[in-house]
Amino acid sequence: MNKKIIIGSRGSKLALLYAQQAKDKIIENTNLDNDDILIKSITTKGDEVQNIRLSEVGGKGLFSSNIEKELQLKNIDIAVHALKDMPANETEGLRTDSFLERNDPREILITKDKKKLKDLDEKSIVGTSSYRREFQIKKIRQDLNCKLIRGNVDTRIRKLNEGMYDAIILSYAGIKFLKFENEISEIFSAEEIIPSAGQGVIALQCRENDDETISILNKINHEETHKRAHLERNILKVLDGDCETAIGVHSVVDGDKIIVEAELFSLDGKQRFYEKKVGNVNEFRELGTEVGILLKTKSNNSYKR
């Protein structure tokens, strides 16, 4: 390869750490060295719009569309995304089929005084930008008030410390990468609060006709994560899931079996539709499609406007 490989990423501290991890993995598994790979920081619309829900200004694609555009224009060769921020359906001409080993997918709570969720005062304000998290929290504590919070992890923690919220709920993976573990008040199991589909997964995207880059990405693709990612994403594809779709999906590989648990909420959060299935690990795509169809049927489209 006679040209430098350019990795494109969001410009947040966390996203750039993900991009660096991808770069390190490529160096580790190929004959490329540090000078052969550059990381390019890209501003996304999701980073620019901080005060309203993503669903009101275009949904999940706000975090990925600018980066994908750079890929299509051949300004970058590899796009690094947090999988949970990507729209369910692939953009034409692009390929998302390689994933780094999954980070911890669980959810965590941060409070100013290290209180757990059950110990928060009545009517406490919990910061989240996710309908899923809001409905899941209400399932545990009906009396709590959820209020929109946007911004990077450090911005959210600052807003909590300034007294704008009593608690915030975030993904464990980001907290670990940024070394904020001492801030954690509570870690929820994936059964207590089912995470977002693909949570904790770093996805690597390239052009579908770029054979050279595909061969590099194949070398660093983590097989188990690949299966879990596609299973979870297939559920979203069936549901045509977007930012307003309040759905938690989590899968686990156990020997030759793959187990998936999913819950879908109606638009108002009052109805919950749940599925848990076990399948053959090599039929991960089919299992995802099956669970998606079951949830769609059960919910009678009450999760969609």
Query: CB of 247 within 8 A of CB of 236?
Result: yes
Tell me whether strands 167-171 and 125-127 are parallel, antiparallel or unpaired: parallel
Residue labelled with tokens 């054979």: 211
Catalytic, 166? Answer no
Three-class SS state of 70: helix
Q: Is 182 helix (H, G, I), strand (E, B) or coil?
A: helix
The CA–CA distances, whole Å, from 15 to 115, 162, 259 equal 29, 25, 29
Q: Out of 47, 77, 85, 166, pick the active-site residue.
A: 85
Q: Which of 256, 255, 274, 278 is nearest to 264 (CA)?
A: 274
Tell me how far CA of residue 73 lies from CA of 58, 76, 154, 180, in angstroms.
22, 8, 32, 36
For residue 80, give Cα distances in angstroms to 31, 85, 97, 187: 21, 11, 12, 27
| Core vs surface per residue 228-245: b (16+ CB within 10 A) or e | bbbbbbbbbbbbebbbbb
Q: Name the DSSP letter for residue 244.
A: T
Which residue reads 């997964």 in tokens? 201
d(CA 107, CA 117): 12
CA pair distance 157, 167, nearest whole angstrom: 9
* Three-state secondary-structure class, residue 287: helix
End-to-end CA distance of the chain: 49
- The residues annotated as belonging to the active site are 85
